[in-house]
Amino acid sequence: MDSPPTSTSRLPPRHPRPRRKSRYPNDAMPMLYLILLVLLTATPLRGQELPPVLTEEEFLARVANHHPLAVRADLQRDRARALLQEARGGFDPKLYGDLAQKYYRGTRYYSVAEGGLKVPTWFGVELNAAYERNEGYYLNPENTVPENGLFAAGLTLPLGQGLMFDQRRAELQRARIYQQATAAERLVQLNELLYEAGSRYWEWAGAQGAVEVYTEAVELARARYAAVVNSAALGDRPAIDTLEAQILVQNRLLGLESARLEAANAAAALNAFLWLDGVIPLELEADTRPLDPASVVVAPPEPLPPGTENPALLRTRLKVDELEVDERLQREQLKPRLDLKYNALLAGGVDRPLESFSTRDYKWGLTFSQSLLLRKERGKLALTRIKLSETQLELSDKAAQLSVKLAQADNEARVTVAQYELARRNASDYARLLDGERDLFRAGESSLFLVNSREVSFIDASLKQLELMVKHRKARLARRFAAGLTLPVVEGGTLPSE
């Protein structure tokens, strides 16, 4: 058996396949495509008229106008209009025609032709007009008409099932309710989107404020370290103080890096809500900042406008209305089917049709049907009533839950005002203590330990003030969300004042 060839085996020389000359020098075109893709998937907000200070109103207005969920919510209105147009089509007039002929061994047995128009009405009556012309050697006697054909005009009247309500009217009412429900669903989606986006905005604002607090603390620690080093060189302070001052700088740097990480994560979460026309994702520029925490309003919210209602309640209430339409239709199905048809007849080809018309020329008929046990109809009605009861209970539960959320958010928005004021005073008092301790330290009457202790308390108080500011603004957002008041930003471009 032959052994497999090894590296020393003689193999026929392999001729490299000649490379095809690229149409583009240095194969630059694929790289251009990659660069273009990167630019499209992460476009900074340059040229988008974004101010250097991004306010909550401007941010939410951009979200409401460009976010994919907001754009998709707008498509729901088009869907509702299309469904309403489809339902109205059930009342469109209809033309019809029918032609039947038979020929056998050169003989025309019959030729039966009929055409007409049917017009459904909202009241359940169907109007109709027809013309028929029939002839033939073996024509059925009942199809015999005058030589110039026969005109018929009349109506079909349901005397039982379908007189007060029918499937066509039910579909149209459902479509109208669906149009309102779709508008409410759009508002619900926008309300949830703006609440989530607003929450991310204030988390970003709080994280940026923390970065500024730690940045100032690092600068002060570095300045103190330089002063301690100079004092130690002159012999005014022991050399061990320089090590302690250096440790303080390092601790402040650790806090600053942690704050920068939180700010970067908050900005990344905020970027998820920034889009252009719902297609191109955008990113904040590095120099874009939120509102200055000192300029943020922290005050008790004003009373809600009268008649305020969350669109989620309206959506559920419209579900109840739709089920009531179904219940009415199911009740109608319990009635017997009894249709009366009447058509006045007039021969074609007459010179004076009104004078030729006679009430004795007509055709009519009755159609009757009725289920003996009505088990199917009664079962459908029972199921519809169960669904209606469930939806009514859901409406009551949802109203209670939204009322609780509104009360909780209102309480939190009011309580955090007092908490914020206390935190602001604490930060101001700690700042005064820190300034006094620094003066004592420079005079040689204090230690780095005491300065560090005062500084830690001041930093904690400043961060607590920022935390309560964010908590208050998110509580106001939750209050607007529970009441459905984040929605005017979509129409007017600004949030409602509180």
Confidence of residue 284 (pLDDT cuts 50, 70, 90): confident
Query: In this predicted model, what pLDDT tens digit does every residue of 64-84 receive, in sequence order?
Result: 888 888 888 778 888 888 888
- Give how far Cα 285 sits from Cα of 42, 94, 119, 194, 236, Å: 11, 61, 63, 21, 48
pLDDT tier, 487 (very low <50, low <70, confident <90, very high otherwise): low
Query: Does residue 117 surpass a pLDDT of 90?
Result: yes
- How far is the C-alpha of 401 from the C-alpha of 389, rounded, in Å? 18
pLDDT tops 80 at residue 217: yes
| pLDDT 10s digits, 350-374 | 777 777 778 888 899 999 999 899 8
**C-beta separation of 379 from 387 below 8 A:** no
State the average pLDDT over residues 423-449. 88
List Cβ neighbours of 239 (8 Å cut-off, separation of 6 or more): 232
Summarize the confidence of residues 447-474 as an average pLDDT. Answer: 91
Q: Is the pLDDT of residue 443 over 70?
A: yes
Give me the percent of the chain exceeding a pLDDT of 90: 43
Q: How far apart are the first and last CA of the chain?
A: 93
> What number is the average pLDDT over the span 454-468?
93
Per-residue pLDDT tens digits for 469-481: 999 999 999 998 8
Q: How confident is the model at residue 452 (pLDDT cuts 50, 70, 90)?
A: confident
Q: What CATH superfamily classification does 63-85+169-319+384-487 receive?
A: Outer membrane efflux proteins (OEP) (1.20.1600.10)
Where are the chain's structural domains? 63-85+169-319+384-487, 93-158+337-372
Say what the pLDDT of residue 51 is: 67
Please provide the average confidence, as pLDDT, over all residues in the chain.
84
- Is 201's pLDDT higher than 90? yes
Paired tokens of 142: 């009942």
Q: Quickly state the pLDDT bin for 490 (edges 50, 70, 90).
A: very low
User: What integer pLDDT is reported at residue 242 of this predicted model?
Assistant: 87
pLDDT at residue 196, as a whole number: 92
Confidence of residue 127 (pLDDT cuts 50, 70, 90): very high
Mean pLDDT for 321-350 is 91
Res 7 pLDDT > 50: no
Query: What's the mean pLDDT in 44-73?
Result: 77
What's the average model confidence in pLDDT over 146-152?
89
**Residues in CB range of 171: below 8 A, 6 or more apart:** 87, 90
